[in-house]
Amino acid sequence: MFLFYAPDLQRTFWSVLVVSEILNFDSRGWLDRWTEPPKISSISFQSPSGAIQADLYEPPSGAAKAGILLNHGVIDTGKDDPRLKRFAEILCRAGFRVFVPEFKGMRSFRVSSGDVDEIQAAYENPADRPERPRSG
């Protein structure tokens, strides 16, 4: 006898939609058809090296499951890389608040120990909390 539990089915359903979008990254799938586009805000926050710009992707309903800090890594397009933006959108459509900061050192291929402090400041930013962060 099989007994299905509704929350497990719902999680499985959303997981399949997200994996399907990731596997078919360049084409829009069912997740895009069944969810609204994220609300994207540009914000800034302070780090030990100064102000950092970031994009905040939020579900339109405002009911995010949790926050995700998405780091662009060492790439010249930084937070504006089309692949990173698409991935952030997929995560947001799945119900997460996604915080994508711009790290100038990594964007210019100059990785240093100071990047750790910037990532820590991004992690501590209130963008992954339920209350709305300050716009900047």
Q: What is the pLDDT of residue 70?
A: 92
Burial class (CB in 10 A: 0-12, 13-18, 19+), 22: middle
Give the whole-angstrom CA distance, residue 49 versus residue 40: 25
Q: What is the DSSP string of the chain?
A: -----HHHHHHHHHHHHHHHHHHTTTS--HHHHHSPPPEEEEEEEEETTEEEEEEEEE-TTS--S-EEE----S-TTGGG-HHHHHHHHHHHHTT-EEEEE--HHHHTT---THHHHHHHHHHHSGGGSSSPPPP-
pLDDT in tens, 107-123: 888 888 878 888 888 88
The answer to pTM > 0.85 is no
Q: Which single residue is written with the structure tokens 């090296």? A: 49
Q: What is the pLDDT of residue 80?
A: 93
* Structure confidence at residue 6 as a pLDDT band (50, 70, 90): low
pLDDT in tens, 53-85: 999 999 988 777 788 999 988 989 999 999 999
Q: What is the pLDDT of residue 79?
A: 93
Phi/psi of residue 66, nearest 5 degrees: -170, 170
pLDDT in tens, 15-59: 888 888 888 878 888 888 888 999 999 998 888 888 989 999 999
Q: What is the pLDDT of residue 7?
A: 67
